[in-house]
Amino acid sequence: MDKLIHGTAADGTVRVLAAITTDTTAEAIRRHGTSPTASAALGRLMTGALLLGSTLKNDDRLTTRIECAGPIGGVTAEANAAGEVRGFVKEPLAEVPLKPNGKFDVSGIVGEGMLHVIREAGVKIGMKHEPYVGSVPITSGEIAEDLAYYLAKSEQIPSAVLLGVLLNNREPFVAASGGVLVQMMPGANDHIITMIEDTIIHAPHITEAIREGAGTEDLVKLALGVIDYEILYEKPVSFKCSCSNERALKTIASLGRDEIKSIIEHDGGATMHCGYCNESFVVSGDDLRQMLVQL
């Protein structure tokens, strides 16, 4: 089971989160049929959204959106504090050649553009607040570095972000997926920062560690080295979409009687498609006529 842990280190001056998202990324790839490099980009951004979303309050929602000029066209991932995430790419079949070292060229498929992070409060309980939106230019296109740049520039939190997706050329297609977020909180001293930077530079790639059996605490140790830490909590994470047949019906009902009558007359029924999870909901003519009666 995929999970995420949240901990602190160095007397509370360092916050560390680690997640293993192998099954979560595999589910997203299954739903969207993404190409290998698009799969890597989607898995990385979803994992990053989970790490950032874990710091939210229970009823809040976080959306990370990459708008870019590269072949992928854009990537979006939405997460909440419960460990639920969903995401999609605009061009799921987009692909670029591997890098000379055999790694996915995520920066090549993303290209130039902007990273937006949207935080919405009270979403689950129906509260309407103006969302907080932070935007920064894409600096590398590798996603982890872009999220770290966003945290430093938009939220003034010096951070290190490690994200990775490793694929097989046979089922199961996702060999490993996960990430680590290390943040320097007020009071973090320069010596601790230098130690963490040096540890991360010399650490093995997180996907190799996950494929070899590393758990979330192993990822924390991989990032912190000899620095002591305390785990505050852990929780499961998964791909989960908020769409449903009920939501589809409510959306159509909001169109009003005249529009519903027009749908019945010209199409006989309606189909609602969710871009986040690639599910479609069919609403029959009888359902629409019943909806008119209720309206």
Token digits of residue 73: 């066209």
Classified as helix, coil or strand, 269 is coil
- DSSP secondary structure letter of residue 130: P
pLDDT of residue 288: 86
Q: What is the structure's pLDDT at 72?
A: 98
Output the pLDDT for position 123.
65
pLDDT the model gives residue 127: 60
Cβ atoms within 10 A of the Cβ of 292, count? 12
Domains (range + CATH), the chain: 3-239 (3.55.30.10), 245-294 (3.90.1280.10)
Positions in the chain short of pLDDT 70? 123-128
- Name, in order, each residue with C-beta under 8 angstroms of 183's C-beta and a sequence gap of 6 or more: 14, 15, 16, 151, 157, 158, 159
Distances (CA, A) of 178 to 4, 38, 131, 219, 237: 9, 16, 27, 9, 11
Q: How far is CA 23 from CA 26, 161, 178, 244, in A?
A: 5, 20, 10, 22
- Residue pair 146/136 in contact by the 8 Å Cβ criterion: yes
The two tokens of residue 139 are 């600096």
The pLDDT value recorded for residue 119 is: 93
- How many Å apart are CA 284 and CA 272, to the nearest integer? 11
